Structure 1
Amino acid sequence: MAIGPRLDIRQTQSLVMTPQLQQAIKLLQLSNFELAAFIDQELERNPLLEREEGERGLESAEPKADASDLPVLDSAPAETPLLDGMTPGSAEDGMDVDYDNTFNNDSASDAVQDESLSQWGNVSGGGGFEDGESSLDQMTAGEISLRDHLAAQVNMDIPAPADRLIALHLIEMLDEAGYLIGDLDELAEKLGCSRQHVEVVLRRVQGFDPVGVFARSLKECLGLQLAEKNRLDPAMQALLDNLELLARRDLPGLMRVCGVDAEDLAEMIGEIKALDPKPALAFDHVVAQPVTPDVLMRRTQDGAWVVELNSDTLPRVLVNTRYYSKIAGAARSKDDKTYISERFQSANWLVKSLHQRATTILKVATEIVRQQDAFFRLGVQHLRPLVLRDIATAISMHESTVSRVTSNKYIATPRGIYELKYFFTQAISSADGGDAHSAEAVRHRIKALIDAEGKSVLSDDSIVDALKAEGIDIARRTVAKYREAMNIGSSVQRRREKSLGM
């Protein structure tokens, strides 16, 4: 056979992930906060993009599923308002893009001490008046931070400048819960003093308010609080030394190592539970950011569900075609023309991708609401089994697309705000051959049975029998798995807790 170069023609099929397609896929899985940050970056990067100002076109800015277009579900009971079908609006009814109307030092020298102390300023005072408009009420109404609270105690209780400097550095080593993090040896080396000196100051500041701060472990934190109450006796110290037994609820083991009976152990555990394992959380309150829903759901007067996108989370960007025409006509070099053309195509693609993202989210959310109608009407016990394939088949999309859409997306319903992924649960077969049950509904039922058990503690086998009587075919190991996932102890542990009044 001759060996030599030759030309062959071959025909193959392949999927090419263009940058535009990668961007569209990326936009699908972004949350509303991540999307807002991405849009801000694009606005800075692309001069042809601009943010839409005002409320123009707000009513038609996002697709909406109207109750008037929905077919009636056959499974809805007669006495319940019927769920109308929800068909998302077409692309023409979606986001209206108007292209025409656009627009250290290593030693503890005195100089370092003075500089470190001066940065705290007047930590015990209330601050000064500005322009004579501040009032005493305004000064006292503000919340004091943990570091200011501790620094004020340092200024009052520690007169030696070197000790104060160490104490202030220790304050900077506290985490949000009040625990001391970091290495004392490194601090001693940084300040040019001995570790013993640092530990002396540490023991002193551990007596500051709130009691328990500057602890290096949970055991030390609880011990400081018990010592303050004069309750750190040998039995209590033995309990602190064996907190892992308490976490496992090994009450016989605790009674053995502490040398107490059940009554005394119950009293000791009650004292432990009354302590504060995170003493610093009373300061520096961090306001939890509420979840902003991407989809809104409400019921009309005739009982139909209306699903629509939250207009507050929809990014509103426009392509400035006037500016594009102006700079495109003024461009002379090939590089300038290429850059302007690429920016224009990128801007158009981004706007289209945002519209497609909004439409896809609405389609998926609408189908979820349709299939989980019983949950919204009757509660979690009627949550039906659902997988990504069910939604993907119903709306003619790929499962991976549905998975991306439901990640970090939330819907506001009459029953609360839920992540879209919450409605996808595994199926548990029915004992009588009927419809399968949702795993989430079964977990809810297990918790309800345990909450209502009273003095008669139910074993896992008893729970299995109770569920089978309700038509739920479930194995004992599955009950144990669900119970442990909900941090519910075994029947033996619950019985011990009830006997000790825990």
Structure 2
Amino acid sequence: MTPQLQQAIRLLQLSTLDLQQEVQEALEANPMLERQEDGEDYDNNEVSESHTDAGINTPTETGNSQESLYEAPSHSEESFEEGDWSERIPNELPVDTAWEDIYQTSASNLPSNDDDEWDFTNRTSAGESLQTHLLWQLNVAPMTDTDRLIAVTLIDSINDRGYLENSLEEIHAGLDPDLDIELDEVEVVLRRIQQFEPAGVGARNLQECLLLQLRQLPSDTEWLAQAQQLVGNHLEALGNRDYNLLMRRMKLKEDELRAVVELIQTLNPRPGSQIETSEPEYVVPDVIVRKHNGRWLVELNQEAMPRLRVNAHYANLVRRADSSADNTFMRNQLQEARWFIKSLQSRNETLMKVATQIVEHQRGFLDYGDEAMKPLVLHDIAEAVGMHESTISRVTTQKYMHTPRGIYELKYFFSSHVSTSEGGECSSTAIRAIIKKLVAAESPKKPLSDSKIAGLLEEQGIQVARRTVAKYRESLGIAPSSERKRLI
């Protein structure tokens, strides 16, 4: 593989956010590169036309080899005046070599010299952890030094869900024997911690967690006493959805039991999840799909696509016959800059071809939703655009499409198929959508079993085994029928 092809493949599999970071590093490391500002005319390095009608056949690559996918189209005109530095970039560099073997510098190994704008916290800070949140409350709570030591040990034993992972006996055994701390003291400190926010933190099991949250509710809360009785004595029956047994034991009517259960459902069985421990991940769509005059249009997200060009002033400083170290460095930087721009152009062209073919295959989804999704595999798109399946896999990984129905990863549009009774095919995505629709419309008192769902699908001509229904149901995050039973 040539260095150009290696670079093009690497840029092709980067997400939009990673690509923007890569471009920023290249701009900082290579003086020959500069960003194209809004309102300025594109030069020869501009990406090709990025607005394509999905209803029109777009040109595809005709080459069969993967290398041909990254050959950038030639241009006969330059947007800046060419001087003695101008020379043709070779079509190919030696194979099986690294970029650093040809050029002296790389964007990845040169740090930014702008120390004034370097903000370490912005690049290393993460969301507040549960332990940090609890320690902050501990610092403002009045305690003796011994109790504070016990509290820090207890907080270290609380997991991300908010539960105490170790027993009090194990925590007590790990304390310094010279402090002569009794087990009762550890339990007293734990009760202090259990009064911290979020409510229910520091519990040893689910029952204690729910009871802690109920105790922190106002005393005049309706059905509070019954909810405490249910959680304290009949939690297992509630987990089994045995509502008839609960009504008999608690001597409640159906509507009264429903009110008690609704109060319990307002509680959080994982109180630690309320504290965000990681930075939010943002999704920037690479492709935008919209409908215009009854036709689906596909276009690149220009705001997310970096626009670069060669700096004409620095490029004109390169002299052909000069072999000095400075001139050699500038020549190498110029070569690297132009290949980087061509790799970006190749990435955008490939992304557009693949996205256009996906929209062409999945018009039913865009018009009618998940139930109209057609079966689609990588081979179908690879054959349509004349590329290798591995290339399609790279293009569809961590690339997103903005549609009127939401933002989806390109891989979402690929799914296997199931044969129908009429000899046709139905995609697994469409079957999942049908299962979700059936479950949403089921009777709460008598939810549909997997066998019943398989029978309903068979009535629609879709032959799916019960175990396949169970697999699709689990992938949708839908609980089994025994756990979906609830009061009306």
**Contact 1:85–1:370 (CA<8 Å) still a contact in 2?**
no
Consecutive unaligned residues of structure 1, counting only runs of 5 or more, are 1-16, 71-83, 102-143
Which one scores higher on RCO, CA 8 angstroms, separation ≥ 6?
2
Q: In structure 2, what is the equivalent of residue 37 of structure 1?
A: 21
Alignment of 1:320 with 2:311, yes or no, is yes
Please state whether the residue corresponding to 1:291 is helix, strand or coil.
Answer: coil
CA distance change for structure 1 residues 194 and 93 in 2, over 3 Å: closer, same or farther?
Answer: farther
Please state whether the residue corresponding to 1:488 is helix, strand or coil.
Answer: coil
Task: Select 1:276's aligned residue among 258, 268, 271.
Answer: 268
| In structure 1, C-alpha distance between the alignment counterparts of 2:2 and 2:200, rounded to whole Å | 57
**Contact 2:227–2:264 (CA<8 Å) still a contact in 1?**
no
Please state whether the residue corresponding to 2:384 is helix, strand or coil.
Answer: helix
**Contact 1:64–1:88 (CA<8 Å) still a contact in 2?**
no
Cα deviation, residue 273, structure 1 = 2.4
Residue by residue, what CA displacement relative to the aligned partner does 1:156-214 show, whole Å, maximum 9, x if unpaired? 6515466457657877887776556899689956x989596666434312223442234
Residue by residue, what CA displacement relative to the aligned partner does 1:240-267 show, whole Å, maximum 9, x if unpaired? 6x6xx97xx54569979xx957979967
Consecutive unaligned residues of structure 2, counting only runs of 5 or more, are 62-71, 83-127, 218-224
CA distance change for structure 1 residues 39 and 174 in 2, over 3 Å: closer, same or farther?
Answer: farther
Alignment of 1:364 with 2:354, yes or no, is yes
Task: Select 2:428's aligned residue among 435, 439, 449.
Answer: 439
Cα deviation, residue 331, structure 1 = 6.8
Map residues 69-84 of structure 1 onto 2, 5 A cutoff. 84=55
**Contact 1:65–1:89 (CA<8 Å) still a contact in 2?**
no
Cα deviation, residue 231, structure 1 = 7.5
Cα deviation, residue 298, structure 1 = 1.3
Higher mean C-alpha displacement, 200-209 vs 164-173: 164-173
Cα deviation, residue 28, structure 1 = 1.1
Map residues 84-103 of structure 1 onto 2, 5 A cutoff. 84-87=55-58, 98=79
**Contact 1:170–1:202 (CA<8 Å) still a contact in 2?**
yes
TM-score by length of 2: 0.69
| In structure 2, C-alpha distance between the alignment counterparts of 1:362 and 1:482, rounded to whole Å | 31
Alignment of 1:64 with 2:50, yes or no, is yes
| Alignment: residue pair count | 415
TM-score by length of 1: 0.67
**Contact 2:240–2:482 (CA<8 Å) still a contact in 1?**
no
Report the AA paired with residue 296 of structure 2: W
Q: In structure 1, what is the equivalent of residue 290 of structure 2?
A: 298
Report the AA paired with residue 42 of structure 1: A
CA distance change for structure 1 residues 305 and 165 in 2, over 3 Å: closer, same or farther?
Answer: same
| In structure 2, C-alpha distance between the alignment counterparts of 1:262 and 1:400, rounded to whole Å | 64
**Contact 2:201–2:272 (CA<8 Å) still a contact in 1?**
yes
| In structure 1, C-alpha distance between the alignment counterparts of 2:481 and 2:161, rounded to whole Å | 34
Cα deviation, residue 297, structure 1 = 1.2
Alignment of 1:473 with 2:469, yes or no, is no
Alignment of 1:50 with 2:20, yes or no, is no
Aligned residues: CA RMSD: 4.6
**Contact 1:328–1:340 (CA<8 Å) still a contact in 2?**
no
| In structure 2, C-alpha distance between the alignment counterparts of 1:153 and 1:314, rounded to whole Å | 45
Alignment of 1:354 with 2:349, yes or no, is no
Report the AA paired with residue 63 of structure 1: E
Alignment of 1:415 with 2:427, yes or no, is no
Report the AA paired with residue 306 of structure 1: L
Please state whether the residue corresponding to 1:412 is helix, strand or coil.
Answer: strand
| In structure 1, C-alpha distance between the alignment counterparts of 2:365 and 2:446, rounded to whole Å | 31
Cα deviation, residue 367, structure 1 = 0.7
Alignment of 1:27 with 2:11, yes or no, is yes
Cα deviation, residue 20, structure 1 = 2.7
Higher mean C-alpha displacement, 282-291 vs 436-445: 282-291
Residue by residue, what CA displacement relative to the aligned partner does 1:382-416 show, whole Å, maximum 9, x if unpaired? 11111111111111111111111011111111222
Q: In structure 1, what is the equivalent of residue 439 of structure 2?
A: 450
**Contact 1:385–1:439 (CA<8 Å) still a contact in 2?**
yes
Map residues 134-149 of structure 1 onto 2, 5 A cutoff. none
Cα deviation, residue 39, structure 1 = 1.7
